[in-house]
Amino acid sequence: MLRLGTREFGENEPVVMAIVNRTPDSFYDQGATFRDEPALDRVEQAVSEGAAIIDIGGVKAGPGDEVTAEEEVRRTVGFVAAVRRRWPDVVISVDTWRHEVGEAVCAAGADLLNDAWGGVDPLLAEVAARHGAGLVCTHAGGAEPRTRPHRVTYGGHDAHAPGKGSGTAPGNRSGVVEDILRVTLELAERAVALGVRRDGIMIDPGHDFGKSTRHSLEATRELGRMTETGWPVLVSLSNKDFVGETLDKPVKERLTGTLATTAVSAWLGAQVYRVHEVAETKQVLDMVASIAGHRPPAVARRGLA
């Protein structure tokens, strides 16, 4: 059971987390939801399309202009409060690695802290515990926030070399999955020890974060190893570079690849999906759940008349 805010989600219940960027330079929408009105419209649309979680971010993940903690607070806290007032039952997540920001957004009504940078600020988990908030424990390969990976290796064979890290045989593995498991499980258990609710913790393989495209593909292929741990698994796949490089597609042409990766992740047991395109993702998740036998068809007329 996953419990976030006022919501409880069953073991086989897929959950859509909609991205709302409060940044002027986001890689996907280039600041379309930086202002309050379009951002609130985005929340309205996402909730109507089936998103249970709204993930609010005040800093672009990639390199760019410096954003201080004070500026991040300014971009997120008022908006969290506005969403809380208008949608009292929606789960509000804030994508931050800073404990100062976590403290402020939890006080404003956030239910979940989405730490995409792998516990780089160890005080963030303490903030989640103090406020009774959930926490996402992500593998980022030890990368500093807002940096891009450069020749990252994880032991074993070099996943960047031609023909290496591309298969499932042990001799071809790069070691990234072992590192993902080690780091995320350590972060999750540390969070529990600090007082974060066990049923509010998720682990995330951190696609693209501290990883090459081959690493992210391997993390997807071996995702079942994460779901077998018993922790709910969150995946953030939407329009990411590993999808773009795999198919050689620019950002705005990555939806098909994203949805294919979503379907594979759902079949392997991931539960929460951080996305830009809510309606399309919801259809994929419903279809996979029905094939798996966890959800009945919406209608069943064929062959019954």
61: domain CATH number is 3.20.20.20
Q: Give the count of domains, the chain.
A: 1
> What's the CA gap between 133 and 112, in Å, rounded?
5
Please write the tens of the pLDDT for every residue from 101-149. Answer: 999 999 999 999 999 999 999 999 999 999 999 999 999 999 999 999 9
Question: Residue 25 — pLDDT band, cuts 50, 70, 90?
Answer: confident
Q: Are 154 and 183 in contact, with CB atoms under 8 Å apart?
A: no
48 domain residue, yes or no: yes
Q: How many CB atoms lie within 10 A of CB 129?
A: 18
Question: Residue 156 — pLDDT band, cuts 50, 70, 90?
Answer: low
Whether the pLDDT of residue 81 is over 70: the answer is yes
- Give the pLDDT of residue 160: 41
Whether the pLDDT of residue 166 is over 50: the answer is no
Question: Residue 181 — pLDDT band, cuts 50, 70, 90?
Answer: very high
Q: Are 177 and 223 in contact, with CB atoms under 8 Å apart?
A: no
**Mean pLDDT within 61-65:** 93
Q: Which domain holds residue 196?
A: 2-292
Question: Residue 27 — pLDDT band, cuts 50, 70, 90?
Answer: confident
305 domain residue, yes or no: no
Please write the tens of the pLDDT for every residue from 40-54. Answer: 999 999 999 999 999
Q: Are 281 and 262 in contact, with CB atoms under 8 Å apart?
A: yes
Whether the pLDDT of residue 169 is over 50: the answer is no
Average pLDDT, the chain: 93
Structure tokens at 85: 């007032």
298 domain residue, yes or no: no
301 domain residue, yes or no: no
| HSE-CB for 223 with a 13 A CA cutoff | 26
- Give the pLDDT of residue 237: 98
Closest CA to 93 of 19, 34, 40, 27: 19
DSSP SS3 for 147: coil
204 domain residue, yes or no: yes
47 domain residue, yes or no: yes
**Mean pLDDT within 43-72:** 97
**Mean pLDDT within 189-200:** 98
Closest CA to 52 of 14, 12, 95: 14
268 domain residue, yes or no: yes
Q: Name the one residue in this structure whose structure tokens are 């690695």.
A: 97
- Give the pLDDT of residue 29: 80
> What's the CA gap between 54 and 64, in Å, rounded?
24
Q: Name the one residue in this structure whose structure tokens are 């802290």.
A: 113
Whether the pLDDT of residue 168 is over 80: the answer is no
**Mean pLDDT within 282-289:** 98
Instruction: List the alpha helices (DSSP H) in the chain.
Output: 36-48, 69-86, 99-108, 123-131, 176-194, 213-221, 224-227, 241-247, 255-267, 278-292
> What's the CA gap between 301 and 114, in Å, rounded?
42
> What's the CA gap between 102 and 216, in Å, rounded?
28
What is the pairing mode between strands 2-4 and 7-9?
Answer: antiparallel
